[in-house]
């Protein structure tokens, strides 16, 4: 029996640890409320900003986005390529502007997510619905299964990188500075913008929007889209999420071949992927090497599927989705 198939035979699981039991993560609820309140203030201040500040806020979307996609995701979480110290230093700065927790903590949660996708040990288990996978998981205490999985895995390679260690030691103060204060200082120093205008628009509003774009990978790209590479898995090919998350929505491929630096099958001409373009550009100037791809593995997988199809063996049935599951029973 295929292991992944065995996993989905157990669905639906008993959800044992959620908000109804009062397991609220109050510090995070207060922080996320602050993030959204300051973003609303930012939205009200957009009309008062100079064009330079609006361009700066817009540019901080891919800049901070690359800190997540190119940096903590494809480099540190998955080791899908190797990078020069200069690039790693730049990516640490970009990652801090994105302010999504330290590289160490983000990569730890993400490796647990890949290893235990759609189980109780998955930090943002999408079988618990869109809101939980999107941001609800941050608002409750971690499921004990997630904590246990994190304790049992080895993350020593992350701390072997001095840049990751330094950023972890400065967490959260450096990230809060780079996310909120630095954009305001740059705008007021270089083009005379009011500090608080840039603080709220290029800082708070841009931060909140990019946060939701990242969260869409865990929610929308785990629930909506095609499954050409692994019909049994939840992660899906979602072009809209790819636009938002600078190339990170090709998620069925990514979960099948997480070591692929492109996180997608095709080139950038047919699949929007500025993160891949950035890694390729860095490779062209010698800052990146040893880019891994899943293409050879997929050629074998596709050939096997074609042989099965020719022999009349049907594809396995996709697992039930949350809206197909009611009261602990799958609706047939
Ligand atoms: Zn995922
Ligand atoms: Zn990943």
Instruction: Summarize pLDDT for 59-107 with one digit per residue, the tens.
Output: 999 999 999 999 999 999 999 999 999 999 999 999 999 999 999 999 9
Low-confidence residues in the chain, pLDDT < 70: 1-21, 319, 322-323, 325-332
pLDDT tens string 126-174? 999 999 999 999 999 999 999 999 999 999 999 999 999 999 999 999 9
Ligand 1 center from residue 136 Cα (angstroms) = 16
Strands (E) across the chain are located at: 82-83, 288-289, 325-326, 329-330
Q: What is the CA radius of gyration of the chain?
A: 21
Name every residue whose Cβ is closer than 8 Å to that of residue 275 and which is 6 or more positions away in sequence.
Answer: 65, 66, 69, 70, 74, 246, 247, 248, 263
Q: Which ligand number lies closest to the CA of residue 275?
A: 2
Tokens of 239: 């072009």
pLDDT confidence of residue 317: 77
Ligand 1 center from residue 327 Cα (angstroms) = 26
Ligand 2 center from residue 5 Cα (angstroms) = 21
Tokens of 225: 């889209």
**For strand 329-330 and strand 325-326, is the pairing parallel, antiparallel, or unpaired?**
antiparallel
Strands (E) across 63-222 are located at: 82-83
Ligand 1 center from residue 234 Cα (angstroms) = 8
Long-range contacts of 21-30 (CB under 8 A, 24+ apart): 23/140, 23/141, 24/139, 24/140, 24/141, 25/138, 25/139, 25/140, 25/141, 28/138, 28/139, 29/139
Ligand 2 center from residue 118 Cα (angstroms) = 14
What span, in angstroms and rounded, lies between the C-alpha atoms of 238 and 17?
29
Q: Which ligand number lies closest to the CA of residue 221?
A: 1
pLDDT confidence of residue 158: 98
Ligand 1 center from residue 264 Cα (angstroms) = 13
Q: Which ligand number lies closest to the CA of residue 218?
A: 1
296: how many CB neighbours lie within 10 A of its CB? 9
Q: Which ligand number lies closest to the CA of residue 263?
A: 2
Tokens of 59: 């540019």
Long-range contacts of 31-37 (CB under 8 A, 24+ apart): 32/135, 32/138, 32/139, 35/204, 35/207, 35/208, 35/211, 36/208
Crossing angle of helices 206-218 and 85-98, in 10° steps, is 100
């Amino acid at each position: 029996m295929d292991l992944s198939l065995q996993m989905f035979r157990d669905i639906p699981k008993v959800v044992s640890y959620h908000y109804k039991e009062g397991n609220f993560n109050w510090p995070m609820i207060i922080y996320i409320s602050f993030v959204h309140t300051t973003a609303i203030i930012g939205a009200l201040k957009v009309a008062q900003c100079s064009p330079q500040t609006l361009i700066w806020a817009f540019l901080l979307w891919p800049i901070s986005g690359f800190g997540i996609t190119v940096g903590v995701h494809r480099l540190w979480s998955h080791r899908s390529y190797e990078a020069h110290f200069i690039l790693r230093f730049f990516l640490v700065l970009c990652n801090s502007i994105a302010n999504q927790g330290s590289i160490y903590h983000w990569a730890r949660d993400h490796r647990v997510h890949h290893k235990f996708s759609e189980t109780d040990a998955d930090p943002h288990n999408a079988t618990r619905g869109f809101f939980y996978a999107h941001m609800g998981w941050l608002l409750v205490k971690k499921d004990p299964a997630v904590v246990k999985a994190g304790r049992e895995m080895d993350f020593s390679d992350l701390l072997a990188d001095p840049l990751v260690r330094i950023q972890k030691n400065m967490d959260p103060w450096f990230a809060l500075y780079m996310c909120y204060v630095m954009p305001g200082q740059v705008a007021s120093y270089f083009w005379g913008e009011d500090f608080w205008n840039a603080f709220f628009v290029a800082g708070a509003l841009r931060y909140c929007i990019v946060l939701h774009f990242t969260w869409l990978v865990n929610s929308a790209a785990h629930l909506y889209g095609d499954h050409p590479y692994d019909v049994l898995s939840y992660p899906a090919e979602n072009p809209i999420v790819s636009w938002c998350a600078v190339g990170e929505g090709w998620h069925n491929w990514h979960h099948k071949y997480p070591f692929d630096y492109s996180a997608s099958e095709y080139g950038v001409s047919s699949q929007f992927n500025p993160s891949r373009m950035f890694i390729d550009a860095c490779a062209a100037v010698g800052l990146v090497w040893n880019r891994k791809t899943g293409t050879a593995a997929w050629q074998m997988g596709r050939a096997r599927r074609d042989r099965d199809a020719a022999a009349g063996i049907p594809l396995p049935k996709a697992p039930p989705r949350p809206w197909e599951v009611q009261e602990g029973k799958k609706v047939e």
